[in-house]
Amino acid sequence: MVLTDQRPLLIWKKENNLLYQYNPKSYSVSQVSKLIRRSPSVVYRMIKSGDLYSHGRPVRVSHQALQDWALKRLPAIPRLFGRG
């Protein structure tokens, strides 16, 4: 995976009769968790700028949750995304 500072191109995608913006550089929850374990500060900046997508939506995680996650205080990773 290559992380860049450029804002990715958004594509409209239809799924289950819902139209939403899809990012071709979208990551799964497990991929995001691996990125956060490697460099939480870089990933946090990407989340704040809206450059990190998962499930077709920008990932939203609080700073405290990111710190807890990086320190492995929270075992349930998908719960941070609210998409259990």
Number of domains in the chain: 1
| Domain that residue 36 falls in | 11-81
Q: Residue 65 phi/psi, 5° resolution? A: -65, -40
Does the residue 2 lie in any domain?
no
CA 56, CA 52: separation in Å to the nearest integer?
10
Residue by residue, pLDDT tens for the chain (84 residues) are 555 445 544 555 555 665 555 555 666 667 766 776 777 667 767 777 777 766 666 766 666 666 666 666 554 454 555 544
Does the residue 48 lie in any domain?
yes
CA 36, CA 22: separation in Å to the nearest integer?
22
Does the residue 1 lie in any domain?
no
The answer to whether residues 43 and 32 touch, using CB atoms and an 8 Å cutoff, is yes
